[in-house]
Amino acid sequence: MKYLPAAVAAIALLAGALAAQTSAVTPEEAVTNLEKALKAARTLRADFEQLHYSMSVSEPLREKGELLFEKPDRMRWEYKAPQDKVFLYKEGVLETYLPEDKQLTRSPVAEEALKSDIFGIFLGTMSFHDAYAIESNPFPTDAARVRQVKLTPKTEGDYSHILLEIDETTWLLRRAIFLEWAGAKREFVFSRVRTGVRLPSDAFTLKVPPGTEVIDDTGTIKGQGQNL
C-alpha cells in the first residue's frame, strides 16, 4: 500500500498530460512550429534543470543552471548547482570548464551529437521530419497548453526515442527527454524562456584564472589560464 500515493500521483500527472493535449495541431505541425520558433530566435535565454536517470539509482541526479544561445552557433550552458561548471559551444568546438578542478578542456563536437542531442535541437542542424518518425505521445506533466510528441530516429543511434514537450503559446521547447537503449535517460526542463533578448557582451568568452590547466582536443596541455 505504500506505493499507492505515488501511483495516484502518476495517474494524476498522466491525466493532466491528456487534458493538456487539447490542440487541433498535429504532432507534425507542432514540431514544425518548434523549428520555426527556434529559427526565428536570434538570441535565447532560459533557466534549465537537467535530470540524469540511471537504472542503478532510484533518484535522478539534478543539476540547474542557465542557457544562453545566439545564432548561428553559440551556446553557453552554465551550471550553478550542485556544482559550478560551464559548457561553451561555438564554431564546432566545445569548451568545458570545471572551476573546482581548475581545468578547461577544448574538443570538437561529433557531427552525430549535433544532429541528435540537445545541441541539435537549438542549433537546427537537422530537420525533425527528415530524421525522425513523429507521433503524439502524452506523458506525465503538470503543464497546461503543451503539445507532447515522440521522435523515433529513422536511423539507429544513441537514443531509442526522444520525447518533447512544446509550449503552445510560444511554440518553444519546455521539456526534452532523451531515452537511451539501455534504459538510462536525460531530461531537460526549461523555464523563463525569453527570445530576442540582449546577452552579455562576454557571454561566449570563457575567462579562466591563472593556473588553470587548459587541454586542447589533441591532448596538448597549456599550463596557464587564458581567455578563449
DSSP sequence for 133-152 = EEEE-------SSEEEEEEE
Whether the CB-CB separation of 106 and 93 falls below 8 Å is answered with yes
Does the residue 5 lie in any domain? no
Residue 113 lies in a domain: yes
Phi then psi dihedrals of residue 28, to 5 deg: -65, -40
pLDDT value, residue 225: 44
In the chain, alpha helices (H): 4-20, 27-40, 111-116, 118-123, 128-131
Contacts of 41 (CB under 8 A, 6+ apart): 69, 71, 172, 195, 196
Single-letter code of the amino acid located at 71: K
Residue 23: Cβ within 10 Å count = 13
Is 20 inside a domain boundary?
Answer: no
CATH number for the domain that contains residue 203? 2.50.20.10
Q: Is residue 167 part of a domain?
A: yes
Lowest-pLDDT range, 81-85, 153-157, 187-191?
153-157
Question: Which residue range is the domain that position 53 belongs to?
Answer: 26-222
Amino acid at 33: N
Residue 2 has pLDDT above 70, yes or no: no
Residues whose CB falls within 8 Å of the CB of residue 9, separated by 6 or more in sequence, listed in order: none
**CA distance linking residue 76 with residue 90, whole number of Å:** 9
pTM attached to this predicted model:
0.84
Tell me the mean pLDDT in the region 42-47.
98
Instruction: Give the least confident one: 7-16, 106-115, 117-126, 142-151.
Output: 7-16
Query: Does 13 map to a domain?
Result: no
Please determine, for residue 13, whether its predicted confidence score (pLDDT) is greater than 60: no
Q: What type of residue sits at position 147?
A: R
Residue 82 lies in a domain: yes
Q: Does residue 116 fall inside a structural domain? A: yes
Termini Cα distance of the chain? 56
- Tell me whether residue 7 is in a domain: no
Number of domains comprising the chain:
1
Closest CA to 224 of 207, 210, 204: 210
The CA distance from 61 to 48, in Å, is 14
